[in-house]
């Protein structure tokens, strides 16, 4: 396994491909995956843990996600992730001392409105309900008189129809606060995260619709309350998943929107994860914004929970500093003079760039790093197009391998995850089969080139397409906490090494996880493993 530049080593992430029970809910077990089966039985392999403490999340059962997964792979160690850092800052009160939060509080101190925008759930992938509650309680303590919540409804990181639970929790807080003279707290607008605002593929129509609702109070769908809206849409379509609920505004008896934004108001984006928060942030912050016509843009103070774009320092006001990865894998190999590529479709653009880089989006050195992004299908449900761009990615990967120019490449296949999020079993099976075929083509090219690859996933999803409920089963649209496969494909494999297996007695740091992949890649490339990385998984007798 010694490497020269023309013996490429790849990290292939089959996003959302976990190891499930093999039962009727497991799309991966039901799919026909001849490539995966052959690689699993013929090469060194293990199971990796991708959730909770194995990726620096606060709770033992916290699901993994793409941001934490790719950040951990790139860092090569377990770091406290955004939600962990926020929770710690809230616990030690440093959260409230940030100059960004203080500026927000000053702006609304004399009677203007504080707007909170964000994903209303406790999924902890993009946001957490407790962070809404913390900000609401703090605003109340500080005497902020008027507060409005613009709620993105989830059903993708939590149960498919759970929005009412989170709405009711905040309604209780509002009822308590509004019992005090002069306070007026409530919801202003809502809608499914897949329909409005939380786009990540520059489909500006989704952001525009959210903007018009939140900022201008404009929307045909108008309801007296959140629950009235949710019930209305569910009556019409009983199986609608919360993420797909149309956008709506909350109105008073005169049909006036309750929470338009006006001059002097402040807006806090409560989401901590950047990929789906940056587009709306651009609309709020950029002077030369041209995504859509913003209409009469009020003079607002805007802050985000964290940084959403480090290259452009967006937003200007951040309640928390970024999660710092001092020496991400891409930067380390750049310093060794290894040419690299990153390849995926645009839905997973953040994953192979700023998530894996722990910050930066653009190549540090364009002559040594090629970031290749194939446009994802737009305006379709991925359950209707489960092949997504797997074939195009494989074709491009083969070309890059054959060029003999690259020492390292990171590839992400979106299918098992994105189609898994739709909750449709038949489509998920097709998605998995598309990835299997694509991986087969890449492995064949690697075989010719004498290269190697780690074939793994950032977290599970498609192996758990149903979850048990009190009365039976319902579709699962979220990630899982199952382990994921990790195969070391090596054209020259002679059986002389294995990958470390999970051992129940191991402490979190030793359990094979995403944090061990950077060191494993160094070893595969024939370089000394840097001392500060979690150790390689390769074991030789
Ligand atoms: O779609 C997303 O934003 C998340 C789930 O909330 O999935 P992933 O972490 O795989 O990108
Ligand atoms: Mn993912
Ligand atoms: Mn996902």
- Mean pLDDT rounded to a whole number for the chain: 96
Q: For residue 252, say whether it is annotated as part of any ligand binding site.
A: no
Q: What DSSP string describes 150-191?
A: EEEE-SSSS-TT-HHHHHHHHHHHHHHHHTSTT-EEEEEEEE
Token pair listed for 306: 């964290």
Residue nearest to atom 10 of ligand 1 (CA): 66
Ligand 1 centre and the CA of 347: distance in Å? 10
Closest CA to 370 of 335, 318, 395, 334: 334
Measured in Å, residue 257 CA sits from the centre of ligand 1 at 31
Distance CA 157, CA 42 (A): 35
Question: For residue 294, is pLDDT > 50?
Answer: yes
* Six token digits for residue 19: 């190891």
pLDDT > 90 in the chain, percent: 95
| Nearest ligand atom owner, CA of 193 | 1
Among 421, 459, 464, residue to substitute to test ligand 1 (most atoms within 8 Å of Cβ): 421
Q: Do the Cβ atoms of 253 and 108 come closer than 8 Å? A: no
- Please give the sequence-ordered ranges of beta strands (E in DSSP) within 296-347, or none if there are none: 301-304, 317-318, 340-345
Q: List Cβ<8 Å contacts ≥24 apart for 521-526.
A: 521/9, 521/11, 521/329, 521/408, 521/454, 523/1, 524/1, 524/3, 524/9, 524/452, 524/454, 524/488, 524/490, 525/3, 525/9, 525/333, 525/338, 525/407, 525/408, 526/1, 526/2, 526/3
Give the DSSP per-residue string, 182-212. Answer: T-EEEEEEEEETTTSS--SS--HHHHHHHHH
351 is in an annotated binding site: no
Q: How far is the CA of 66 from the centre of ligand 1 (A)?
A: 6
Q: Which residue has the tokens 């492995």?
A: 443
Q: 286 is written with which tokens?
A: 């950029």
Q: What is the CA radius of gyration of the chain?
A: 23
C-alpha to C-alpha distance for 297 and 416, rounded to whole angstroms: 40
Burial class (CB in 10 A: 0-12, 13-18, 19+), 41: exposed
Which residue's CA is the closest to the ligand 1 atom numbered 3? 276
Mean local confidence (pLDDT), 388-416 = 98
Q: What is the structure's pLDDT at 2?
A: 40
Instruction: Reply yes or no on whether the pLDDT at 200 is more than 60.
Output: yes
Closest CA to 15 of 60, 67, 56: 67
pLDDT category of residue 26 using cuts at 50, 70 and 90: very high
Tell me: the pLDDT tens digits for 496-508? 999 999 987 777 6
Does residue 3 register a pLDDT over 50? Answer: no
* CA 444 to centroid of ligand 3, rounded, Å: 28
Confirm or deny that 66 is annotated as ligand binding: yes
Per-domain residue ranges for the chain?
A: 12-81+332-539, 84-318
CATH of domain 84-318: 3.40.1450.10
Q: Does 288 carry a binding-site annotation? A: no
Known binding residue 275? Answer is yes
Cα distances from 253 to residues 184, 218, 222, 225, 229, in angstroms, run: 16, 16, 11, 11, 15
CA of 370 to the centre of ligand 2 (A): 21
Choosing from 68, 71, 344, 417 the residue with most ligand 1 atoms within 8 A of its CB, the one to mutate for a pocket test is: 417
Distance 359 CA to ligand 1 centre (A): 18
Nearest CA to ligand 1 atom 1: 418
Separation CA 204–CA 192 (nearest Å): 16
- Please report which ligand is nearest the Cα atom of 18: 2
Q: Which atom of ligand 1 is nearest to the CA of 157?
A: 6
* Span 161-195, pLDDT tens digits: 999 999 999 999 999 999 999 999 999 999 999 99
pLDDT recorded at residue 510: 79
Question: Which residue has the CA at smallest separation from atom 8 of ligand 1?
Answer: 66
Q: What is the mean pLDDT of residues 5-19?
A: 91
Within 6 A (CB) of ligand 1 lie 15, 65-66, 125-126, 156-157, 276, 417, 421
| Distance in angstroms (rounded) separating the CA atoms of residues 27 and 72 | 26
What is the mean predicted confidence (pLDDT) over 318-329?
94
Q: What is the pLDDT of residues 450-479, one digit of tens each?
A: 999 999 999 999 999 999 988 899 999 999
15 annotated as a binding-site residue: yes
Q: Could you tell which of 64, 66, 70 is best to mutate to test the pocket of ligand 1, judged by most ligand atoms within 8 Å of the CB?
A: 66
> Which ligand neighbours the alpha carbon of 348 most closely?
1
What one-character DSSP code corresponds to residue 470? T
| Residues 6+ positions from 290 with CB-CB distance below 8 Å | none
Q: Which atom of ligand 1 is nearest to the CA of 69?
A: 9
Is residue 182 left, alpha or beta, with left meaning phi > 0 and alpha meaning psi from -120 to 50? left
State how far the Cα of 244 lies from the Cα of 424, in Å rounded to an integer. 14
Confidence class of residue 1 from pLDDT cuts 50, 70 and 90? very low
The predicted model gives 285-313 an average pLDDT of 97
> Which of 227, 239, 127 lies closest to 477, judged by CA?
239
C-alpha closest to that of 271 among 317, 244, 306:
306
476 is catalytic: no
Q: Which atom of ligand 1 is nearest to the CA of 125?
A: 6
Residue of the CA atom closest to atom 11 of ligand 1: 66
Indicate whether 344 pLDDT > 70: yes
Q: How confident is the model at residue 4 (pLDDT cuts 50, 70, 90)?
A: very low
How far does residue 220's CA lie from ligand 1's centre (Å)? 29
Residue 6: per-residue pLDDT: 54
Average pLDDT for 272-297: 97
3-state DSSP assignment of residue 77 = coil
Segment (H or E) for 88: helix 82-91
Q: Which atom of ligand 1 is nearest to the CA of 350?
A: 11
Q: Is 126 annotated as a binding residue?
A: yes
Catalytic residue chosen out of the listed positions 41, 66, 127, 536: 66
Number of Cα atoms under 13 Å in the Cβ half of residue 489: 30
CA 459–ligand 2 middle distance (angstroms): 6
| Residues 265, 117: Cα–Cα separation, whole Å | 13
CA–CA dist 476, 245 (Å, integer):
17
234 annotated ligand-binding residue = no
Sign of CA dihedral 514, 381, 464, 425: negative
pLDDT of residue 506: 76
Q: Of ligand 1's atoms, which has the minimum distance to the CA of residue 348?
A: 11
DSSP 8-state code for residue 312:
T
Which residues neighbour 272 within 8 Å (Cβ) at sequence distance 6 or greater?
82, 83, 86, 126, 127, 128, 131, 305, 306, 320
Mean of the pLDDT values across residues 100-120? 97
Determine what percent of the chain is predicted with pLDDT higher than 70. Answer: 99
Model confidence band, residue 5 (pLDDT cutoffs 50, 70, 90): low
Q: How far apart are CA 12 and CA 489, in angstroms?
A: 10
Please provide the CATH number assigned to the domain covering 12-81+332-539: 3.40.720.10
Residue appearing with tokens 């929470």: 259
Beta strands in 293-435 (DSSP E): 301-304, 317-318, 340-345, 369-374, 408-413
* Ligand 1 pocket mutation, candidates 125, 198, 461, criterion most atoms within 8 A of CB: 125
CA distance 20 to 465: 10
């Amino acid at each position: 396994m010694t490497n020269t530049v023309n013996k490429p080593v790849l990290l292939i992430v089959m996003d959302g491909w976990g190891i499930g029970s093999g039962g009727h809910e497991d799309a991966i077990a039901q799919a026909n995956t001849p490539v995966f089966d052959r690689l699993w039985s013929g090469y060194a392999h293990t199971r990796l843990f991708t959730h909770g403490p194995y990726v620096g999340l606060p709770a033992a059962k916290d699901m993994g996600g793409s941001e934490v997964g790719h950040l951990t792979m790139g860092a090569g160690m377990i770091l406290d992730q955004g939600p962990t850092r926020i929770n710690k800052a809230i616990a030690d009160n440093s959260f409230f001392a940030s100059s960004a939060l203080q500026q927000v509080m000053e702006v609304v101190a004399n009677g203007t409105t504080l707007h909170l925008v964000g994903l209303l759930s406790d999924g902890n992938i993009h946001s957490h309900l407790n962070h809404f509650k913390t900000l609401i309680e703090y605003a109340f303590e500080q005497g902020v008189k008027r507060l409005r919540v613009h709620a993105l409804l989830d059903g993708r990181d939590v149960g498919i129809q759970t929005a009412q639970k989170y709405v009711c929790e905040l309604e209780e807080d509002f009822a308590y606060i509004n019992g005090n003279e002069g306070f007026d707290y409530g919801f202003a607008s809502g809608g499914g995260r897949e329909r409005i605002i939380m786009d990540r593929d520059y489909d500006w129509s989704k952001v525009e619709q959210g903007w018009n609702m939140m900022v201008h109070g404009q929307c045909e769908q108008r309801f007296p309350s959140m629950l009235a809206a949710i019930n209305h849409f569910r009556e019409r379509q009983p199986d609608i998943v919360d993420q797909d609920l149309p956008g709506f505004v909350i109105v008073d008896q005169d049909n006036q929107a309750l929470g338009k934004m006006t001059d002097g108001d402040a807006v806090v984006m409560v989401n901590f994860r950047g990929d789906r928060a940056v587009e709306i942030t651009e609309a709020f912050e950029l002077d030369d914004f041209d995504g859509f016509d913003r209409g009469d843009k009020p003079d607002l103070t805007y802050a985000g929970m964290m940084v959403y774009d480090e290259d452009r320092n967006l937003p200007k006001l951040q309640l928390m500093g970024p999660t710092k990865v001092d020496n991400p894998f891409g930067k380390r190999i750049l310093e060794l003079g290894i040419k690299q590529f990153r390849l995926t479709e645009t839905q997973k653009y953040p994953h192979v760039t700023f998530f894996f880089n722990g910050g930066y989006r653009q190549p540090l050195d364009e002559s040594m790093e090629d970031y290749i992004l194939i446009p994802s299908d737009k305006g379709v449900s991925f359950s209707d197009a489960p092949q997504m761009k797997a074939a195009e990615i494989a074709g491009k990967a083969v070309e890059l391998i054959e060029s003999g120019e690259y020492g390292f490449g990171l590839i992400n296949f979106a299918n098992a995850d994105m189609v898994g999020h739709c909750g449709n079993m038949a489509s998920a099976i097709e998605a998995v089969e598309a990835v299997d075929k694509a991986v087969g083509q890449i492995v064949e090219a690697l075989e010719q080139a004498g290269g190697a690859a780690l074939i793994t996933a950032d977290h599970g999803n498609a192996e758990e397409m149903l979850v048990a409920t009190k009365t039976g089963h319902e579709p699962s649209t979220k990630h899982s906490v199952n382990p994921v496969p990790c195969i070391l494909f090596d054209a020259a494999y002679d059986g002389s090494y294995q990958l470390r297996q999970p051992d129940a007695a191991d402490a979190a740091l030793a359990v094979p996880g995403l944090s061990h992949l950077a060191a494993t890649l160094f070893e595969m490339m024939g370089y000394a493993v840097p001392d500060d990385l979690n150790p390689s998984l390769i074991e030789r007798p």
